[in-house]
Structure 1
Amino acid sequence: MRHEQSTTASHEDHAPIVPREGLNFGLDGDIPKYWMANDAFKTRFFDAMSTLFPMGEKFFITSVREFRDGVTTPKLQQEVTNFIRQEAQHTLIHRQFNERLKAQGVDIDSINAQLETLFFVDAPKVSTATQRLAATAALEHLTSMMCTCFFERKELLEASDPRVRAMYAWHAIEEVEHKAVAFDVLTQVAKAGYLARNISMLTITFGFPVTVARIMNHMFKVDGFSFGQRMKLWAKGLWWFYKPGGLFIPTFGYYMAYYKPGFHPWKVKEMPSYKTWLQVFERTGDPIAAGNALHAAGQ
């Protein structure tokens, strides 16, 4: 699966950013603990991602807001507003999901406290506002990459609970819609150049998976897995991550596009099934039906 940068893509020819509020994913229902193929590693990978979102989205919003007064074009001003509204909804829904994890024994309060210290105490001490915005743009690219590439592959989430899958499908759709906002503020307002944004991407590339891995390991301990069992989970899981055709290898082209001179997020082709989700949601107002349709449209 290749995601090459198009040299003819228009920055104007993309989906609008549409905040969607009051969505019900049935997260208070009888969702299995290991909701993805009854697999502890696969489930806990996505669960760990969910624990990052509330503080992560707050960091994204804060980083963009620091430059909001410098945004002068009405189009980008409106996109920033809609970006903030979408990210606020992501925070709300993932907090609901994270309450399920908390009930399972996952120390959500400690994870939030550590992330809050990292993002809002430690980071400002060692970075500039531009560097934090560059980190946000890099993380938005990685998030959009995962959202796009994961939902293109039907087999990946085939054996998943449709309610959780729908939550991630909705999140994916909105990440696709606003994926260029932080990048545009970074380049147009903060005036960051090629080197600054790529240094941030390299830093995030190494730091992000370490953070996810630490949270996953905590979850495995909570689940009662012994040291030996955890090592077996990691060995099998890392193979799932990095084997040929695994979780991450097919995303490599999308990832590397960020380093190209002249890159812009809208130059990378998006999931062909985006309109499928949109059409079903607009017709039914049901995010679970739309998530099922998005999944069914995968290859």
Structure 2
Amino acid sequence: MARAHRRKQHKEPIVVRENLDFGLDGDDIPRYWLANNPYKTRMFDAVQATFPDGERYFIKAVRAFRDRITDPALQAEVTDFIRQEGQHGMVHTRYNERLKRQGIAIEAFTKHTRQIEETRMRRYSPEYNLALTASLEHFTAMMADLFFAEKSMLAGADERVRAMFAWHAIEEMEHKAVAFDVMKQVAKVGYFKRCAAMTHATFSFTLYTLISPWFMLRMDGYSPREALAIYTQHMPWALGKVLGRLLPMIARYYRPGFHPNDIPTVHNYMDWVESYQRGANPIAAGEAMYGAAA
């Protein structure tokens, strides 16, 4: 008799870390904190601008099924997931306040995100909203791997901002399977709805990521011609090094039988965790993770 194949699981404990201080209120953080590069900086800034309202959407989508969870372990994971996402929302709200001080009309970005999430909650079923949440959670977990596995992706970044993204990345990896497990075990979402939600999420997220930096660059004072030149220069990086590497990671989600814990945690995860355990210093932990990148 053939021996049953046992799939290896990559699951980290979900740890709630509260009241982390990244020094984001300091006006000495460069406007273009990522290697003095306007496009790369504003791409990160535009994506993270969606996080406070996005995290609230994720929490609502999972909470809709909380009363139906009978597994105590999954119930505990949902509680920790909600607490982690709540902390992410608070920190990124403070970061958005920094962008507002720079003259970025951040309310336009947050209002756009909020309107999309409210429309989804009103228009789609609770099951489909949960499927979208599970898809976007896979997106963020894979982005964490994309940007922190190699030094080149965040080389030259201000250590405080890089530390904020490192902490967020760590926790996305820790709770990467929670929404998925609720979707599969409790909401009973099938394969085709799961794939439809991922296609929807991929299209909307990619479109936003490519378009939104344009508006921030214009708010920075670049003329349309100057902004177009910046875009032209950086499209090989955005389409090749970012989306070109991210989309194959996303494609794993379409495999029948897929589970988020099938994917190994980024190799320098423990460097962050061990550094933080030593001194509860998120900036030092971020630098430890960056220093251990390939």
Question: Between Structure 1 and Structure 2, how many residues are aligned?
Answer: 289
Confirm whether residue 249 of structure 1 aligns to residue 249 of structure 2.
Answer: no
1:23 corresponds, among 20, 23, 31, to 20
Confirm whether residue 215 of structure 1 aligns to residue 212 of structure 2.
Answer: yes
Distance in 1 between residues matched to 2:117 and 2:100, nearest whole Å: 22
Confirm whether residue 277 of structure 1 aligns to residue 272 of structure 2.
Answer: yes
1:68-90: per-residue Cα shift (whole Å, max 9, x none)? 11111000000000000000000
2:114 corresponds, among 113, 116, 122, to 116
| 1:3 paired residue number | none
Q: Please provide the CA RMSD for this pair.
A: 1.4
1:198 corresponds, among 195, 200, 213, to 195
Identity percentage over the alignment? 44
Distance in 2 between residues matched to 1:88 and 1:19, nearest whole Å: 10
Distance in 2 between residues matched to 1:212 and 1:157, nearest whole Å: 17
Confirm whether residue 168 of structure 1 aligns to residue 165 of structure 2.
Answer: yes
Query: Runs of 5+ in structure 1 lacking a partner?
Result: 1-5
- Give the CA deviation at 1:234: 1.5
| 1:71 paired residue number | 69
Distance in 2 between residues matched to 1:223 and 1:42, nearest whole Å: 14
2:228 corresponds, among 226, 231, 256, to 231
Confirm whether residue 267 of structure 1 aligns to residue 262 of structure 2.
Answer: yes
| 1:294 paired residue number | 289
Distance in 2 between residues matched to 1:218 and 1:233, nearest whole Å: 12
- Give the CA deviation at 1:248: 2.9
AA in 2 matched with 1:124:
M
AA in 2 matched with 1:8:
R
AA in 2 matched with 1:79:
E
- Give the CA deviation at 1:7: 6.5
Distance in 2 between residues matched to 1:198 and 1:115, nearest whole Å: 22
Distance in 2 between residues matched to 1:102 and 1:216, nearest whole Å: 15
Q: State which drifts further: 103-112 or 246-255.
A: 246-255
Distance in 1 between residues matched to 2:78 and 2:270, nearest whole Å: 23
| 2:103 paired residue number | 105
1:108-157: per-residue Cα shift (whole Å, max 9, x none)? 2222222222111x213431111111000000001000001210011111
Distance in 2 between residues matched to 1:75 and 1:21, nearest whole Å: 22
Distance in 2 between residues matched to 1:116 and 1:140, nearest whole Å: 18
| 1:178 paired residue number | 175
Distance in 2 between residues matched to 1:162 and 1:111, nearest whole Å: 25
Confirm whether residue 258 of structure 1 aligns to residue 253 of structure 2.
Answer: yes
| 1:47 paired residue number | 45
Matches within 5 A, 1:80-99: 80-99=78-97
* TM-score scaled by length of structure 2: 0.95
1:200-244: per-residue Cα shift (whole Å, max 9, x none)? 10111111122233432221111111111111121222211223x
AA in 2 matched with 1:283:
R
Confirm whether residue 9 of structure 1 aligns to residue 8 of structure 2.
Answer: yes
Distance in 1 between residues matched to 2:33 and 2:151, nearest whole Å: 16
